[in-house]
Amino acid sequence: MQVKDKIVIVTGAGSGIGAATAKHFAKHQAKVVVSDIKKEKAQKIVDDIKANGGESVVITANVAKFDEVEQLIIKTVEQFGRLDVIVNNAGIGPKNMAKTGEYTLEDWDSVIAVNQTGVFYCMKLALQQMMKQGGGNIVNIASLAGLKASLNNLSYSASKFAVVGMTKSAALEYATKNIRINAVCPGYTESALLDKLLSVRPDMDQMLKSVIPMKRYGLAEEIAEAVVWLASENTKFITGQTITLDGGTSL
């Protein structure tokens, strides 16, 4: 995939899909900014990339804080001179899954702040930089929960539906500006969020697999391949799309 020497930011890159995506970009010779709220986790990913001959740095940021996202973009441009790609992956789930009438204000506010407002902050500031330099590419990590109903998971579902909408709206706005914006919608994928769910409800494992035609969870590396492909020069005529990677679940 054609991403050699592209300057790439991946948010929430300390683990899961974000970490796999950062490593996959580096494998294809992009220069990767590994951003995460936890510096130690991000540094481990950078160390791994460097050990395999790649170029990578850590810039910590809480995407729910505008000033920290602003510094993420500024520091990236100061170090590398431009920003070619941003992957808006940082995301969280609620502490408690509950029906809408019993949903806590804390879970609503915290999830929306990271998953929806955080993506807006990253898109807003990345787009400003990309307009200055004459182009760029944004890949947002949405979810199958942003395409279909998700029980007892209101804030997460709302935030991911929002990411799909923001992706399409912004893609339309910037289609003539050499800026492409797409999203990937993973289904049930091996990740910290899934681990958290299964730790609370171990009985969910077989139930979830029973609704996946492939009878298995996705791998973070499989999602990463789609992200890097969308960010590459191989997909110049693709914008405003949501690519669903769910083992057939949506069928």
pLDDT digits (tens, 9 = 90+) for 87-101: 999 999 999 989 999
For residue 19, what are its two tokens? 């970490």
Mean pLDDT of the chain: 96
Mapped onto helix, strand or coil, the DSSP state of residue 244 is strand
Residue burial 95-127, b: 16+ Cβ < 10 Å; e: rest? eebeeeeebeeebbebbbbbbbbbbbbbbebbb
Domain 7-191+219-244, classified CATH 3.40.50.720, yes or no: yes
pLDDT, tens digit (0-9, with 9 covering 90-100), for 155-186? 999 999 999 999 999 999 999 999 999 999 99
| Mean pLDDT (whole number) for 214-219 | 94
| For residue 198, pLDDT beyond 90 | no
Catalytic residue among 121, 156, 188, 217: 156
- CB atoms closer than 10 angstroms to residue 86: 32
Q: pTM, whole model, 2 decimals?
A: 0.95
156 in catalytic set: yes
Q: What is the pLDDT of residues 23-46, one digit of tens each?
A: 999 999 999 999 999 999 999 999
Reply yes or no on whether the pLDDT at 107 is more than 90. Answer: yes
pLDDT score of 196 more than 90 = no
The better pLDDT of the pair 65, 97 is held by 65
pLDDT band (50, 70, 90) for residue 154: very high
